[in-house]
Amino acid sequence: MSTPSMVQDRKPPLAVLTARRVSTLIFVVGLFALWQWYSMNMPPVLIPSPARVFDRFVELWTDPKNLAYAVDSLVHVAVSVLLAFVVGVAIALLGYYFDVLDLAIYSRLTPFLNSFSSIGWAFLAMIWFGVNEGSVIFATTIVLLPFAIINAGTGLRELDREMIEMGRSFGRSARRQIIWIILPMMFPYLFATVRLCFGIGWQVVLTAELLCGSSGLGMLINLARQRYWTDMVFAVAALILIIVYLTDRIIFAAIQQRLRRRYELT
């Protein structure tokens, strides 16, 4: 059993944290200085200056039309993560309750889904469903699906068998076992699945929107490419980076910290 003092002892010393922050700040400042110097010697269509990119970034937040592209992409990612999570957990549960499906799921289905590229799924979605939001969500969901299956399957294999057997001995039905015993015990793995899929989803959804989408930041990048708005491409990349980073640090990291304390102190 861990104690609060043991958990605190594992934190890095204050001097180490300060040194890391200072080194990170120096690296970022140096990177921007190098970017500024290089942009002064290159045409803006190739390397726009940080000031031009910042102006475009502000435009993303002040222009309602551009902001709508960002909202559409966020919806695409959220729906895709939800679908991949639900379907992935359901498939993992099938493999858990029916051993005969274990080989088909983890040795056939997930390797196939992992090996098929996101661009390939985007082209297939465009052929099957046309250029619309459904194609984007399908392509993104199918790419995220193997991550959800593997994470959920790992959580199922790590379950406390004695706890499940106890629930079965008290006459719990399979549905009640899943809802009240298995899923709560799997929560750390399910949370890790959502956190992983959210980050990967932003990488995939841009490709899908670029090829088969009718809205979203991928479509905005395609428009910027046609008009040689390189600064807009940089601004969109910065926007996505900030969204993913802030979501991970403010929401997911806080939940992860609470989970760590909960499972270390019990």
Residues 43 and 68 in one domain: no
Q: Which pLDDT band, with edges at 50, 70 and 90, does 56 fall under?
A: confident
Give the list of residues 6+ apart from residue 160 with CB closer than 8 angstroms, or none.
185
Residues 19 and 68 in one domain: no
Mean pLDDT, residues 19-43 taken together:
87
Residues 102 and 172 in one domain: yes
**What is the predicted pLDDT for the residue at 16?**
67
Rounded Cα distance between 123 and 129, Å, is 10
Residues 123 and 20 in one domain: no
Residues 236 and 112 in one domain: yes
Task: Find the DSSP H helices in the chain.
Answer: 4-9, 14-39, 50-62, 64-97, 102-104, 110-115, 118-129, 133-157, 161-169, 174-177, 183-185, 187-212, 217-226, 230-246, 253-264
Question: How many other CB atoms sit within 10 Å of the CB of residue 240?
Answer: 18
**Residue 181, pLDDT above cutoff 80:** no
Give the list of residues 6+ apart from residue 81 with CB closer than 8 angstroms, or none.
144, 194, 197, 198, 201
220 part of a folded domain: yes
Q: Which pLDDT band, with edges at 50, 70 and 90, does 5 fall under?
A: very low
Angle between helices 64-97 and 187-212 (to 10 degrees): 130
Residues 33 and 65 in one domain: no
Range of the domain at 42: 1-47
Mean pLDDT, residues 206-235 taken together:
88
**What is the predicted pLDDT for the residue at 169?**
66
55 part of a folded domain: no
**Residue 76, pLDDT above cutoff 90:** yes
**Residue 22, pLDDT above cutoff 80:** yes
Residues 150 and 38 in one domain: no
Specify the number of domains making up the chain: 2
Average pLDDT value over all residues in the chain: 83
52 part of a folded domain: no
Higher pLDDT, 220 or 183: 220
CATH number of the CATH domain containing 137? 1.10.3720.10
Residues 34 and 69 in one domain: no
pLDDT, one tens digit per residue, over 117-161 is 888 899 999 999 988 889 999 999 999 999 999 998 888 888 766
Residues 17 and 106 in one domain: no
> 């922050």: which residue's tokens?
21
Residues 188 and 235 in one domain: yes
pLDDT, one tens digit per residue, over 251-261 is 888 887 877 77
Residues 127 and 218 in one domain: yes
Q: Which pLDDT band, with edges at 50, 70 and 90, does 211 fall under?
A: confident
Angle between helices 217-226 and 230-246 (to 10 degrees): 160
